[in-house]
Homo-oligomer: A and B are copies of this chain.
Amino acid sequence: MSNEQALRQYDVKKYRTPDGYTSDIAVFTIRSTRNEMFKPPTMELHIMLIKRSMVDNEGRPNIEAGKWALPGGFVGPDETAYQSAARELKEETGVDHIHLQHYGVYDAPGRDPRGWIISNAHYAIVPEHQLAHRQANDDASEVELFSVEDVLQLDLAFDHAEIIADAITVIRHKLLETTVAKEFLPAEFTYSELQAVLLTVTKDSAIALDAAFARKIKTLPFIQEITGKKTTRTSKKPAQLYRFVDVEVNSSIYHARK
């Protein structure tokens, strides 16, 4: 096979190669202020950041020490950036099998002072209760949740201000244009719980008005009523429970919604 001959003659050093390949993860969670019983929750979208340690795990001064940054790390040669992100997310937060998706590549020359380092940005959705036992690792002295309203005011490492801003834009769109809202909710939820999730990213009246939204949820093809099943966790009057169903969502700008 002539490919083998070509490979023997191929010089892998022919082109200059990157100095590093990393994954970063924007971990989103929604904090519910469920202050009272029998009340629908008020929700606010948060992002998890780490504060970079002053010294690395070998005791030397750390790059961008003391600044807030997205969790992440270097990708190895035997994994994809996505697998690396999943692994790091588990190391960082202890959570596994959660919604994780790639959304961008950051490779502008000079973005990292250490050299030519390419970062793959991912976003993850973690229900708040799963973040309970999050922990700091070697690179991170602190782990904290910040409201997406405030996070860009922080002193952020590298080009993470840009990566975070993009993540927020992406999740705002995804929440409204796909069914990822599902990932923030329990398997069975009331209309007011879904509404609270969506209200973290929009103030649109069609979603904000209770009567309109309670009626609309019954017509959405990707949401199914669980007939006969109700809960009183959001009100004294038992509220109908719904679940997401896996149907393809058509969001064509030229079609009518079916």
Contacts and interface: CB of A to CB of B under 8 A. Distances in A.
Given A15-B20, A176-B252, A253-B178, A10 B114 contact: yes
A98 interface: no
A3 interface: yes
Contacts of A177: 177, 251-253
Interface string A119-158: 0100000000000000000000000000000000000000
A21 B118 contact: yes
B16 A77 contact: yes
A114 B16 contact: no
Contacts of A114: 7, 10, 12
A216 interface: yes
A105 B101 CA distance: 12
A249 B253 contact: yes
B253 A61 contact: no
Interface in A1-43: 2-3, 5-7, 9-10, 12, 15-21
Dominant secondary structure of chain A at its interface with chain B: loop
Contacts of A75: 107
Contacts of A102: 104-105
Interface residues of A, number: 61
Given A79-B109, A102-B105, A107-B81, A60 B256 contact: no
Contacts of A65: 2-3, 6
B255 A6 contact: no
| Copies of the chain in the assembly | 2
B120 A76 contact: no
A78 B109 contact: yes
Nearest to A107: B80
Residue from the set A3, A63, A64 with the largest chain B CB neighbour count within 10 Å: A3
A218 B65 CA distance: 56
A3 B63 contact: yes
Contacts of A108: 80
Contacts of A2: 61, 65
Interface string A223-258: 000000000000000000000000001011111110
The 9 closest A-B pairs by CB, nearest first: A6-B61, A176-B252, A251-B251, A15-B74, A77-B116, A9-B60, A6-B63, A80-B107, A12-B19
